[in-house]
Chain A
Amino acid sequence: MSKSKTVHIGSNASFWERNRRSGGYLLRHTLSKKIVSIGRALLMFGLCFMIIQPLLIRFSTGLMQEPDLYDSTIVLVPRHLTLDNYRIVGELTDMPRSMLNTLWTSLLVSVLQVVSCTLVAYGFARYEFPLKKFWFACVVMLIIVPPQTIQTSLYMSFANFDIFGIFKATTGKTVNLRTSILPYALMSLTCMGLKNGLYIYILRQYFKGVPKSLEEAAFVDGCGTLHTFARIMLPDAMPTIASCFLFSFVWQWTDVFYTRNFLGSYSIYSNQLSSIVSRMSRYFAQGAGQAVIVPNGRQQQLISIGVLICCVPLIILYCFTQKTFVKSLVMTGSKE
């Protein structure tokens, strides 16, 4: 009886009545909540805007004709709309070909990387083998050592590729592998690609979290190792693997370090983009029939478009796979 009465008063009494009953606590509580949420909204809006704004600016300046760039009355909305800039950038970056090349190399490399990293991570998570600690320290080292430290000798060893001197003994010459995708595919297959230490770490963390009894049950039922791995572990691990794949794909897409060193002979978009400035003057000189100095504003505009073209496919991908992206790292965080 008394209980229902309390509810009655609580729900029907006015705000001030309830505030009076609580001794001013309700007002303070509501006010502080409002202030916090307004402050939070402002902060979030500001920071989000800061992240999005460069994209918007790139988009709007990309549509401007050259005079608009120097017109101080034009800030965001172009007066003379044009899609010509996109055509120019497309030609500058060897567009359809470079994009296709980027697509297939990124796909190939990231698939190889994720496959090998998954196997290695599973090995680290589940089996006891000699020198396990040492090899795991090597994984950590792989994360820490920047590839720039070893780029010189990697460059050398692939420019003059040889396995224990076999090629030199048989043909008298070493093989230059730098002109093919083979070295990088090999490196990806052996977990030495871009940030692969990180993927091994993430996946190992995931596999460690899966209860061991699952595999033990499979073992008792006579399921072989590979079978257990493929049929029991892999299906559950798919979201984590997928997110590692996405990271790998996206980072490979924009990467210049490995691309510049190993895929120099392919026309890859990120490579094209990184050297776009030098190609720009040549392009305009051809058009005008004489040497031209490309004005800074124009250069900047074209670079912006290049950057936009580079990230738009990734952003679209991200929109569809946002949840998957985050999944792997959410697993990782719980430990260490």
Chain B
Amino acid sequence: MSKQLKALNEHWYSPLLEGVQTYIPGNATYKTMRARSARIGTMFILPFIIGFLLFMAKPMVESLIMSFNDVTLVPGQGYEQTYVGLNNYKHALTVDPEYNKFLVEEVGQMAINTIATLVMSFVVAVILNQEFKGRTLCRAIFFLPVILSSGVLPGIEHQNEFYDMMAGMAEQLGESGVDLSTTLQNLLSLSGVGGQVFDVVFQMIDSIYDIVMASGIQIIVFLSGLQSISPSLYEAADVEGCSAWESFWKITFPMVSPLLLVNCIYTIIDFFMKNDNRVMELIYQITYQDFKFGISAAMSWIYFAIALAFIGIGAFIISKAVKSYE
């Protein structure tokens, strides 16, 4: 390498050039700090690069291709594909009797649960951040769902009809027993206050167990955000005559609101991955029992696209809301 080029290289930094030079042994620029950093950094993340290309990028492309093809298994050889265009997507959305229904239900549930989880975990985090007796125990219990609602555990008991039976019996007994939320619901709908909104609210209340079970991580994240707020901010606000309510909205909320986005994304993804997600169950069934790989690929891409859209909308709304505080 000429002296000029070398001098140029030391002052003028191009990541692309460096990337190339990094891998040339005996290269004159090999030992500059930047090249060294590039070399070592790449070495560190090399496992990820390999893994991502082999086990993420490749399968993703393959499954995208599969979703446009009719896939048939050939024993010992792998599989064969014939191009069918958008037929798989059409089949998933119009022909399959259950997919449509499950999709709408699960996505609706996801939207409601996400909002409820965010509110719930925020409130709980604020409470757990206060000083009171038994706080350590409460924290320990609230993080327990991280274990109890993971993997196989949450879905398995709902698969059983026994609970449905019990619920049916409870409804029959309802006249003697007191079901607060139903009574309240009837009362409110009788008095004619905005029906739809209350339906959503009551759905949230009825599924409060699921919501609490799904908000372990979110509580920790909010709590960590709360703890990173400097106490001197509150002291200053207090000295200036700020009430607790005001300092909550003027200090606590703005400081923690960036975490809303993290939690929103986490909740949506978590909901996706849940074992008792019926869309995923259906996809699994179609893949491994009916061996319709093309259709199942199309189904999972549709679902993924919807969730991505939700994450996008959530991110947009939250970033707008957060910005207004800055």
Please indicate the chain A residues that have their CB under 8 angstroms from the CB of B275 in the complex: 256-257, 274
A 106-140 binary contact with B (CB < 8 Å = 1; else 0): 00000000001001101110111111100100110
Residue of B nearest to A37 (CB): B132
Please indicate the chain A residues that have their CB under 8 angstroms from the CB of B307 in the complex: 146
Please indicate the chain B residues that have their CB under 8 angstroms from the CB of A242 in the complex: none
CA distance A13 to B77 in the complex (A): 92
The interface size bin for chain B is: 35 or more
Residues of A250-281 whose CB lies within 8 A of B: 250-251, 253-257, 270, 273-274, 276-277
Taking a contact as CB atoms closer than 8 A, the residue among A40, A127, A310, A329 that contacts B217 in the complex is A329
Whether A253 and B227, one on each chain, are in contact in the complex, defined by CB atoms closer than 8 angstroms, is no
Please indicate the chain B residues that have their CB under 8 angstroms from the CB of A146 in the complex: 269, 272-273, 280, 300, 304, 307
Cβ of B146 within 8 Å of any chain A Cβ, yes or no, is yes
Whether B212 and A51, one on each chain, are in contact in the complex, defined by CB atoms closer than 8 angstroms, is yes
A135-B49, A192-B51 known; A332-B224 Cβ under 8 A: yes
Cβ of A288 within 8 Å of any chain B Cβ, yes or no, is no
What is the CB-to-nearest-CB distance from B164 to chain A, in angstroms, rounded to a whole number? 9
A130-B18, A192-B52 known; A173-B153 Cβ under 8 A: no
CA distance A151 to B280 in the complex (A): 11
Whether B15 and A131, one on each chain, are in contact in the complex, defined by CB atoms closer than 8 angstroms, is yes
Cβ of A26 within 8 Å of any chain B Cβ, yes or no, is no
23 of the cross-chain contacts (CB-CB < 8 Å) are A43-B127, A44-B134, A51-B141, A51-B148, A52-B141, A120-B45, A123-B45, A127-B40, A127-B42, A127-B44, A128-B37, A135-B52, A146-B280, A149-B301, A153-B59, A160-B76, A190-B52, A191-B47, A250-B147, A318-B140, A325-B143, A330-B227, A333-B225
Whether A123 and B41, one on each chain, are in contact in the complex, defined by CB atoms closer than 8 angstroms, is yes
Cβ of A244 within 8 Å of any chain B Cβ, yes or no, is no
CA distance A331 to B78 in the complex (A): 46
Whether B132 and A304, one on each chain, are in contact in the complex, defined by CB atoms closer than 8 angstroms, is no
Cβ of A95 within 8 Å of any chain B Cβ, yes or no, is no
Taking a contact as CB atoms closer than 8 A, the residue among A149, A256, A299, A315 that contacts B162 in the complex is A299
Cβ of A1 within 8 Å of any chain B Cβ, yes or no, is no
What is the CB-to-nearest-CB distance from A226 to chain B, in angstroms, rounded to a whole number? 9
Please indicate the chain A residues that have their CB under 8 angstroms from the CB of B160 in the complex: 277, 296, 299-300, 303
Whether A187 and B41, one on each chain, are in contact in the complex, defined by CB atoms closer than 8 angstroms, is no
CA distance A232 to B227 in the complex (A): 27
CA distance A315 to B141 in the complex (A): 10
Whether B273 and A307, one on each chain, are in contact in the complex, defined by CB atoms closer than 8 angstroms, is no
A residues contacting B by CB (< 8 A) are: 37, 40-41, 43-44, 47-48, 50-52, 55, 116, 119-120, 122-124, 126-132, 135, 138-139, 141-157, 160, 173-174, 186-187, 189-192, 200, 225, 247, 250-251, 253-257, 270, 273-274, 276-277, 296-297, 299-300, 303-304, 306-307, 310-311, 314-315, 318-319, 322, 325-326, 329-334, 336
Task: Please choose the segment from B97-105, B178-186, B198-206, B257-265 that sits at the chain A interface, where 4 or more of its residues have CB less than 8 A away.
Answer: B257-265
CA distance A304 to B52 in the complex (A): 38
Taking a contact as CB atoms closer than 8 A, the residue among A138, A156, A270 that contacts B151 in the complex is A270
A127-B37, A131-B15, A334-B224 known; A50-B212 Cβ under 8 A: yes
Taking a contact as CB atoms closer than 8 A, the residue among A147, A307, A332 that contacts B153 in the complex is A307
Whether A142 and B52, one on each chain, are in contact in the complex, defined by CB atoms closer than 8 angstroms, is yes
